[in-house]
């Protein structure tokens, strides 16, 4: 009898204390833990216009241990889903955990939820959890805002905050500011009856925690300017980036073709993402921060600045148009830096680059070229070229400013000199830049030698300021005094006879300073490029425009830039003929 009693005591101890399966089963049958998902923070443009908001949606959840046989056809009919997909989701939930809730059907609309709610009591182990979906009142700025998607196993394993079925920012602002936008999840525990109906709060809500709503963001972009830029770039391939020089705030960033951000929300997101991914025009590819182009003649402005800083030319240095392997346009011999920029003279900047690279610092032409190239490259890096600008959205590329290591690798040490690399003089050769870098170069010239790192968030709810790195001046190695002549040259490009953008960019009411760039392209027509800032005195906007396979910079890029400037500074367009020509130009 003692032995039998001992066996029973040991067994009861094991069942009630050591083995928690029965305890968990009892708790799961009588209790329901519901995660309270906070609404993500809203996003507004710089003028307070709503860009992103939330809409209620519902997830059908399942606790496999509580589930009993049910009418699968009725569920499928109610929610408009395939039976095979439903059974697959149930199997996945069981594999994850028989005791923990899993998402069975995501993002049910309010209408379908109303029909489901009336019959939910018939399905033990099933319950509904409230969620929110992102919505966009205007179909703009998709590549800036980004999108939200479900977490994967890698994220759940590396970050304990997220569990299977949670959502996270995947790209754009949604990704970069996820920690602010997501808020904090809450928990509610309920008592349920045998029919899975809520009967009250567990221990009067003692263990409940409230969800904390995500913080709202005020972005730097101007929604009207963004929408206008996207309209101008319809049926074209390319990009526009506009920045406020005095702050580094990005006013607009257009990558074309783009897409309606509403396509990547809700249950159709997966299907739509696949369609967008397979589109040969690559609407998901953000050309403004990822496309690498030769800068073309735009690069001549920085060559002039470095030449003056290095002392190899001065503002009144002139060269004849002959004696260089690069072609010249039909214009008078440039007698100064200003005229050289106005005429966009190729031989002039070939000779400037030659003087920068070959300064006679060493007796060997090869060693001398190495010294000159290193000095040249170090100057350029301080302008934010050849490096990845530390933007507050992911995916920014760095471009390329070639250095000694690259040419030693290609040609061998001591086997290259200026004559090998002269194409860089006019922004061709190995030099590659990203559109946002060129817009930033425009801000740097407008500021006469410094820039603030471009950024997209102006304010975060509940915080006094944004990240300090966006309030620090980045000062170039070229002294401020040398920028005046380049600015005068850029003014002449747009406003004086012989300037390469007079026809395409001049506005009677606004003094625009700009520079065209025709970017050589081995596949099809050349790319049309232009960068500018305005007004000349106290600049309010700097801009870069690239239209792929559109030919000369003054034909399409310059007019689009001038329209954007006019729109931002005056709020209206008087150049109706120019606007119509840009809207009518279609590449696809």
Confirm whether 34-219 and 223-272+283-584 share one CATH topology.
Answer: no
Look up tokens 């998607």; give the residue: 149
- Tell me which residue of 267, 272, 51, 295 sits closest to 172, measured CA to CA: 51
User: Would you state the structure tokens that stand for residue 296, as one six-digit string?
Assistant: 């073309």
Nearest-angstrom CA–CA distance, 350 and 327: 10
Q: Biggest alpha carbon distance in the chain? A: 119
Segments making up each domain of the chain, as ranges: 34-219, 223-272+283-584
Torsion of CA 289, 532, 516, 321, to 10 degrees: -130
What phi and psi, each to the nearest 5 degrees, are found at residue 55?
-130, 140
Query: Are 232 and 582 spatial neighbours (Cβ–Cβ below 8 Å)?
Result: yes
Torsion of CA 263, 267, 272, 274, to 10 degrees: 140
Nearest-angstrom CA–CA distance, 410 and 425: 19
Query: Is the bond preceding residue 535 a cis peptide, omega within 30 degrees?
Result: yes
Gyration radius of the chain over CA positions: 31
Please name the fold of domain 34-219: Penicillin-binding protein 2a (Domain 2) (3.90.1310)
Look up tokens 């004559």; give the residue: 419
- How confident is the model at residue 29, as a pLDDT? 54
Query: Are 370 and 434 spatial neighbours (Cβ–Cβ below 8 Å)?
Result: no
Grouping H, G, I as helix, E, B as strand and the rest as coil, residue 345 is coil
> What does each of the 588 residues of the chain score in pLDDT, given as a tens digit?
889 888 888 887 776 666 555 444 445 556 777 788 899 999 999 999 999 999 988 989 898 888 888 888 888 988 888 999 999 999 999 988 888 788 888 888 888 888 888 888 888 889 888 888 999 999 999 999 999 998 988 999 999 999 888 899 999 999 999 999 999 999 888 887 765 566 777 877 787 888 999 999 999 999 999 999 999 999 999 999 999 999 999 999 999 999 999 999 988 888 999 999 999 999 999 999 999 999 999 999 999 999 999 999 999 999 998 888 998 888 999 999 999 999 999 999 999 999 999 999 999 999 999 999 999 999 999 999 999 999 999 999 999 999 999 999 999 999 999 999 999 999 999 999 999 999 999 999 999 999 999 999 999 999 999 999 999 999 999 999 999 999 999 999 999 998 999 999 999 999 999 999 998 887 788 999 999 999 999 999 999 999 999 999 999 999 999 999 999 999 999 999 999 999 999 999
Question: Within 13 Å of residue 298, how many CA atoms lie on the same side as its CB?
Answer: 40
Nearest-angstrom CA–CA distance, 238 and 131: 37
User: Would you state the structure tokens that stand for residue 360, as one six-digit string?
Assistant: 């006679």
What lies within 8 Å, CB to CB, of 468 at 6+ separation is none
- How confident is the model at residue 124, as a pLDDT? 87
Query: Are 147 and 174 spatial neighbours (Cβ–Cβ below 8 Å)?
Result: yes
Cα torsion 280, 286, 291, 296: sign: positive
What lies within 8 Å, CB to CB, of 422 at 6+ separation is 325, 326, 350, 353, 354, 429
- Strands 513-519 and 527-534 turn out to be antiparallel
- Strands 43-44 and 217-219 turn out to be parallel
Grouping H, G, I as helix, E, B as strand and the rest as coil, residue 533 is strand
Query: Are 529 and 433 spatial neighbours (Cβ–Cβ below 8 Å)?
Result: no
- Tell me which residue of 306, 206, 330, 236 sits closest to 585, measured CA to CA: 236
What lies within 8 Å, CB to CB, of 510 at 6+ separation is 534, 535, 565, 566, 569, 570
Beta bridge partners of 168: 149
> CATH says 223-272+283-584 is which class?
alpha beta
Q: 503-542 in b/e burial notation, b at 16+ Cβ within 10 A?
A: ebbbbeebbbbbbbbbbeeeeeebbbbbbbbbbbeebbbb
Length of the chain: 588
Torsion of CA 10, 13, 14, 20, to 10 degrees: 180
pLDDT digits (tens, 9 = 90+) for 458-501: 999 999 999 999 999 999 999 999 999 999 999 999 999 989 99
- How confident is the model at residue 30, as a pLDDT? 67
- How confident is the model at residue 528, as a pLDDT? 95
Global pTM reads: 0.89
Which secondary-structure segment (H or E) carries 62? Answer: strand 50-62
Count of CB atoms within 10 A of residue 359's CB? 16
What lies within 8 Å, CB to CB, of 280 at 6+ separation is none
Query: Are 211 and 186 spatial neighbours (Cβ–Cβ below 8 Å)?
Result: yes
């Amino acid at each position: 009898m003692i032995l039998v009693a001992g066996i029973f005591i040991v067994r009861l101890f094991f069942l009630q204390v050591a083995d928690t399966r029965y305890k968990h089963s009892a708790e799961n049958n009588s209790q329901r833990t519901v995660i309270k998902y906070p609404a993500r923070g809203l996003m507004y443009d710089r003028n307070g216009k709503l860009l992103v908001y939330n809409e209620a949606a519902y997830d059908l959840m399942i606790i496999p241990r509580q589930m009993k046989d049910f009418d699968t056809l009725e569920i499928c009919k109610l929610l408009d889903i395939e039976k095979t997909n439903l059974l697959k989701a149930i199997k996945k939930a069981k594999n994850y955990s028989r005791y923990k809730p899993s998402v069975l059907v995501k993002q049910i609309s309010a209408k379908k939820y109303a029909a489901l709610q009336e019959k939910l009591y018939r399905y033990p182990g099933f319950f509904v959890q409230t969620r929110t979906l992102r919505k966009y009142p205007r179909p703009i700025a998709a590549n800036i805002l980004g999108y939200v998607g479900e977490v994967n196993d890698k994220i759940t394993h590396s970050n304990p905050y997220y569990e299977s079925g949670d959502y996270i920012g995947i790209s754009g602002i949604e990704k970069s500011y996820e920690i602010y936008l997501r808020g904090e999840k809450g928990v509610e525990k309920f008592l349920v009856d045998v029919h899975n109906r809520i009967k009250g709060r567990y221990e009067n809500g003692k263990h409940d925690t409230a969800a904390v709503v995500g913080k709202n963001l005020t972005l730097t972009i101007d929604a009207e300017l963004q929408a206008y830029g996207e309209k101008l770039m319809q049926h074209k391939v390319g990009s526009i980036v506009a920045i406020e020089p005095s702050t580094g705030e990005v006013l607009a960033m257009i990558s074309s073709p783009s897409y309606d951000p509403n396509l990547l929300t809700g249950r159709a997101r997966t299907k739509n993402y696949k369609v967008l991914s397979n589109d040969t025009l690559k609407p998901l590819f953000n050309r403004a921060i990822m496309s690498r182009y030769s800068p073309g003649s735009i690069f001549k402005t920085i060559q002039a600045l470095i030449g003056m800083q290095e002392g190899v030319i001065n503002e009144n240095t002139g060269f004849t148009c002959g004696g260089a392997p690069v072609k010249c346009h039909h214009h008078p011999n440039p007698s100064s830096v200003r005229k050289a920029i106005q005429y966009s003279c190729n031989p002039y900047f070939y000779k400037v680059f030659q003087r920068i690279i070959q300064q006679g610092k060493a007796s060997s032409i090869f060693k001398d070229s190495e010294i000159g190239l290193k000095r040249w490259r170090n100057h350029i890096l301080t302008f934010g070229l050849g490096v990845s600008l530390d933007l507050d959205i992911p995916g920014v590329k760095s471009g390329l400013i070639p250095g000694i290591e690259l040419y030693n690798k290609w040609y061998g040490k001591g086997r290259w000199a200026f004559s090998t690399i002269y194409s860089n003089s006019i922004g061709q050769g190995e030099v590659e830049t990203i559109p946002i870098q060129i817009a930033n170069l425009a801000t740097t010239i407008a500021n006469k030698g410094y820039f603030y790192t471009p950024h997209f968030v102006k304010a975060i709810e509940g915080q006094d300021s944004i990240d300090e790195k966006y309030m620090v001046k980045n000062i170039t190695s070229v002294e401020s005094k040398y920028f005046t002549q380049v600015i005068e040259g850029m003014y002449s490009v747009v406003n004086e006879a012989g300037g390469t953008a007079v026809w395409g960019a001049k506005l009677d009411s606004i003094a625009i300073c700009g520079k065209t760039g025709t970017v050589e392209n081995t596949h099809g027509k050349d790319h049309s490029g232009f960068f500018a800032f305005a007004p000349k005195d106290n600049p309010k906007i700097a801009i870069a425009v690239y239209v792929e396979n559109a030919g000369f910079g003054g034909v399409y890029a310059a007019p689009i830039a001038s329209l954007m400037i006019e729109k931002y500074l005056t709020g209206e367009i008087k150049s109706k003929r120019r606007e119509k020509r840009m809207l009518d130009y279609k590449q696809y």
